[in-house]
Amino acid sequence: MVIINDILNCDIDLKNSYVAIGAFDGIHRGHRELIESAVARAKANNGKAVIFTFANHPLETIDIRKAPKLINSREEKVHILASLGVDYLIMQPFTKDFANMDPEYFVGHVLKNIMNTKEIFIGFNFSFGKGGKAKTEELKKFGEKYNVLVNVIEPVKINGEIVSSTIIRDRILKGNLEETNLFLGAPFLIIGEVIHGKKLGRVMGFPTANLKILNKIYPPFGIYGGKVLIEGEHSERSAVINIGKNPTLKPGEQSIEVHILDFNGDIYGKKIYVRLLKYMRNEKKFNSMEELKSTINGDVKNWREFLKEENNGFSS
Ligand SMILES: Cc1cc2nc3c(=O)[nH]c(=O)nc-3n(C[C@H](O)[C@H](O)[C@H](O)COP(=O)(O)O)c2cc1C
Ligand SMILES: Nc1ncnc2c1ncn2[C@@H]1O[C@H](COP(=O)(O)OP(=O)(O)O)[C@@H](O)[C@H]1O
């Protein structure tokens, strides 16, 4: 997948493009359907599957007070999109100029002239151009004029609710990891570089790869069961993860701590890709390192047990 950082200043010659357009924060089930449609049509027509998304959330430019904390960092977004079979990823900076672009210019110049777009794929509630006033109907009108087929993807519903980045943010903050992952269509992902901590984990017998907490949405503090891929490896390992304040050994410091099961190695500076699969318990303050140690031991046992049962088909 080739990343294009500004389509208005780019010398890559896009031909025969099938373009999925959206902010795509979280890359949920609705986004996936839209992107899969673009990828399938590109394949069927020997074209290129292109994603047109933004380097920053549009609301950061339009109305900063309404800008949400994001579900994905830029790196996470790129990583997920790369797994969906896309040829080109446009990460357009959503500037004031871009926000004020005339809708007809967007279709006629950006999509048609620059990108050679054959078809676009947008969500049912898509709006674009100056003031976000142009909706799907207007886009279709310009599409006809410039010979760009506009495919509007119907809302994806789960349990009667329309899947959206907004309801997923709500579920994440409420600590409902099950619905978060269901709506995302994939487990909640955290990518980060392993940094140095207080070196107490190894003393306790549970070394933890530490990640920085970034300015984005995380599930509430607590202990989670998950899987982790270490940069350079080809398969995931099981892991127990603490997102929190580490009140027992390092009060006041917030971090994500990943203890990788059946692993021993130096991975400082490496990237790890953590997928949260199950919420296990609250983070607690213990009276001693011994108490903390035996509780973590129990977490590891519980997580192994859960994965074993899942493999045997006893649990979904
Ligand atoms: C699965 C797991 C659960 C943990 N639970 C807690 C907890 O409930 N309370 C707490 O204070 N520390 C907890 N910790 C410990 C801290 O997250 C951290 O690992 C420890 O302070 C060592 O930090 P270091 O990596 O900087 O050496 C847990 C760690 C793991 C791996
Ligand atoms: N099973 C493991 N899980 C996580 N990290 C491990 C493991 N085994 C070895 N390590 C290494 O040890 C480091 C964590 O040890 P720890 O004593 O907790 O140090 P720190 O406080 O710097 O995180 C990790 O960053 C990694 O390089």
- Nearest C-alpha neighbor of 89 from the set 30, 29, 19: 19
Q: Which residue has the tokens 């973590």?
A: 296
- Nearest C-alpha neighbor of 140 from the set 154, 156, 122, 155: 122
Q: For residues 162 and 311, give the distance between their C-alpha atoms in angstroms, rounded to a whole number.
A: 31
* 283 CB within 6 A, ligand 1: yes
Q: How many CB atoms lie within 10 A of CB 75?
A: 15
User: What pLDDT does 314 receive?
Assistant: 55
User: What pLDDT does 316 receive?
Assistant: 46
Instruction: Dig out the tokens for 249 from the structure.
Output: 């050994």
Q: For residues 20 and 31, give the distance between their C-alpha atoms in angstroms, rounded to a whole number.
A: 9
pLDDT by residue for the chain (316 residues), tens only, comes to 999 999 999 988 898 999 999 999 999 999 999 999 999 999 999 999 999 999 998 888 888 898 889 999 999 999 999 999 999 999 999 999 988 899 999 999 999 999 999 999 999 988 877 777 778 999 999 999 999 999 999 999 999 999 999 999 999 999 999 999 999 999 999 999 999 999 999 999 999 999 999 999 999 999 999 999 999 999 999 999 999 999 999 988 899 999 999 999 999 999 999 999 999 999 999 999 999 999 999 999 999 999 999 888 654 4
Q: For residues 224 and 282, give the distance between their C-alpha atoms in angstroms, rounded to a whole number.
A: 9
User: What pLDDT does 288 receive?
Assistant: 95
Alpha helices of 28-72 — where are they, by DSSP H? Answer: 29-44, 58-62
Q: For residues 275 and 52, give the distance between their C-alpha atoms in angstroms, rounded to a whole number.
A: 26
Q: Which of 249, 268, 300 to mutate to test the pocket of ligand 1 (most atoms within 8 A of CB)?
A: 249
* Residue 229 β-bridge partners: 273
List C-alpha distances in Å: 225 to 77, 207, 213, 220, 260.
22, 16, 18, 14, 10
Which residues contact residue 176 at a Cβ distance below 8 angstroms, ignoring those fewer than 6 apart?
A: none
CB 240 within 8 A of CB 139: no
Q: For residues 93 and 13, give the distance between their C-alpha atoms in angstroms, rounded to a whole number.
A: 20
* 223 CB within 6 A, ligand 1: yes
Of all atoms in ligand 1, which is nearest to the CA of residue 255?
Answer: 17
The residue type of 191 is I
Q: What residue ranges define each of the domains in the chain, with the CATH number in brackets?
A: 2-161 (3.40.50.620), 187-311 (2.40.30.30)
User: What pLDDT does 134 receive?
Assistant: 75
* 212 CB within 6 A, ligand 2: no
Measured at the CA of 230, the angle between CA 91 and CA 252, to 5 degrees, comes to 85
Q: How many CB atoms lie within 10 A of CB 103?
A: 20
Ligand 1 centroid distance, CA of 76 (Å)? 24
* 226 CB within 6 A, ligand 1: no
